[in-house]
Chain A
Amino acid sequence: MDTYFLMQLINGLSVGMIYALIAIGFTLIFGVLNVVNFAHGEMYTIGAFAGLVCINMIHAPLAIIIVAALVAGGLSGIGLERIAFKPFRRFQDEASLKSRAMREATLLSSLAVSIIIKEVIQHFFGAEMQTIPGQYMLNNPIQVGPLSLSSGQFLILGSSILMLGGLQYVLYHTRIGLSIRAISNNPLGAKYVGLSVDKTIISTFAVGSMLGGAAGIMVGLYYGAIFPTMGFTPSIKAFVAMVMGGLSSIPGAVICSLILGVCESLATNYLTQGWSDMVAYSFLIVTLIFFPQGIFGSRRERV
């Protein structure tokens, strides 16, 4: 065990951290609220582009740029909910609620919206990676003994912990968290006891997409890569991590993101990088065979 493996472990954890950062918002909407949403990657892209526009227009400090990304993410989350999800709640009868075709309709509407967002961004900004002024890059080397870390890794780690802690608190210690969990469990029942389904869903979308937007700008600055299709690959990984972690558990999703990242990086050591994805996905399948409800999944009512 030399520093080499330690370094590879850190490389893996930093990749995993990025998946985790996206997975947190994604899990809140998809897993906890139980709404099939395939447009989360685009919230991430929108956040990154909003931050970039801010950098180029007003040269603001980093904190303000992150706030801008949060706002942009939140607003587009609300817009997304209005356009792609609300129309499908007009069917409230029991047959529609149980119909599989109805439940999977939002899959397609969100997918369609994500295609449109991607194409529109590409139309205005072009498909290539955007240039980011050097001083904003979160890639300054920090030497800790023989290990090379970067400033972005610390920021991403810090904000993941903050988001995770905050969300756990909101979900389990506040009224709004209770209503989110109630609606995910039984929308009709929640309505009968007087919860405002619309309001809760919209605020969940706003928060989840805000986190997505912030993740977008931070990862964009960390890699120095902001481009219209940037949300695709990481959101697949976040999706996988969410399910591995048991769908409704945000800490589970974070831990599984880290596992995926470390898997990929350690696999690179023995195989070429091309095969390392395979290791991560094999791990997913093995996990699901032994834990059919995900590693941290609670025994949810069968749907």
Chain B
Amino acid sequence: MTDNKLVSHSVRANLLVLGLLALVLGVVPGVLSFLGKSYYMQVANSALIYCVVAASMNLITGTAGLMCLGHAAFFGIGAYTAALLNTHFGLPFLLTLPLGGVAAGLAGVLVALPTMRLISIYFAVATLGVGEIVHVTLLNWVSLTRGPMGMQIYEPITIFGHQFTGLLSIYYVIAVLACVSIYLLWRMNHSYFGNALRSVREDDQCAEAMGISVVKLKIQAFAASTFFTGLAGAVLAHSAGYISPDSFQFSESILILTMVVVGGLGSLPGSILGALLLILLPEVARGLGDMRNVAVGVVMFLSILLLPKGIFGEVSAIEVARKLFNSAWDGRNAVGWK
């Protein structure tokens, strides 16, 4: 590879990143506010939140190959932590946001410690159990979580005294957070760390023999993933203003899993596409009335039938990362931690 090519790669990578940023921070809100429909804005907000959730779940379920059937629980822990801290102690958004993430991350580590020994479907069922336990707790611990009454957050998102009340400004808060989290997750996915996770997924005994601490790695991945899910939960709580245990039950976990699988297990751009598809599709299909869920089912079925490795499979994702970013990140020379 000549130096010339290296430069063009890095330019192309920068252009791609800039283009995506411009799309998320400029074009989309621009077009939406031009249309002047708060409905589109609302859908865009929830789509972005789910992008973060799906991308973070992809780290454990896709890259590390640990099928998780209780991811909504961590989403819920993040949301409830933020809501409780805000309403009971009056903490500002800038504190509740990271604390929501930290709480979910801690819960993730707590769950990961005893369950890391489990493989494949046993792990999946253990996380299903954890998800149900969290849901039942949110529903029944009425004195803390107000149970099925749900929690209201009256204070709008406030950063340094500036209140974000309009949907457009909330969109920007979510968008910035989503960009940062997805960038971090992308770096984790395509680095020594991500490759180590992939080796654990393919053959954990072999990875262990090559000197990778499998359990430590899995726990790190779990902590990172649940942390970002918790952040998304905290943002959901603040932007929606109302949360209830119903939003964090088993079917929600399945929805998140579906996003990751439709998009392509192990592929971060894929899970983002999957999240967009599964949030936008039911809204687009509204015109079909009672049959709209059938339409969602049919699209899901066709997508997996025709593209069983996902809309944007792992191989393509790795290729993109190699082609565009390897040189930009100076990854060619990077063997160990960088």
Contacts and interface: CB of A to CB of B under 8 A. Distances in A.
A–B proximity contact (CB within 8 A): yes
Contacts of A84: 301
Interface in A76-121: 84, 87-88, 91, 99-102, 104-105, 107-109, 111-113, 115-116, 119-120
B230 interface: no
> Secondary structure of the A side of the interface?
helix
A266 B304 CA distance: 43
B301 A119 contact: no
B66 to A, nearest CB: 10
Interface in A219-242: 236, 239-240
A275 interface: yes
Interface string B140-173: 1000000000000000000000000000000000
B125 A101 contact: no
Nearest to A293: B122
A32 interface: no
The range of chain B's interface size is: 35 or more
A144 interface: no
A164 interface: no
Contacts of A87: 305
A58 interface: no
Given A272-B140, A274-B139, A285-B129, A294 B261 contact: no
Nearest to A291: B122
B88 interface: no
B294 A116 contact: yes
Interface stretch (A10-18, A148-156, A276-284): A276-284
Nearest to B61: A104
Contacts of B205: 302
A243 interface: yes
Contacts of B305: 87, 109
B250 A236 contact: yes
B122 A274 contact: no
Given A116-B294, A119-B291, 14 more contacts: A101-B265, A104-B265, A111-B254, A111-B258, A111-B300, A119-B293, A240-B129, A247-B122, A278-B137, A281-B130, A285-B126, A285-B130, A285-B133, A292-B119
Interface of B: 65, 67, 114-115, 117-122, 125-126, 128-130, 132-133, 136-137, 139-140, 201, 205, 250, 254, 258, 261-262, 264-266, 290-291, 293-294, 296-298, 300-301, 304-305, 308-310, 313-314
17 contacts: A99-B309, A104-B67, A105-B261, A105-B304, A108-B258, A111-B254, A112-B297, A123-B291, A240-B125, A274-B136, A278-B136, A281-B130, A281-B132, A284-B126, A285-B129, A292-B122, A293-B122
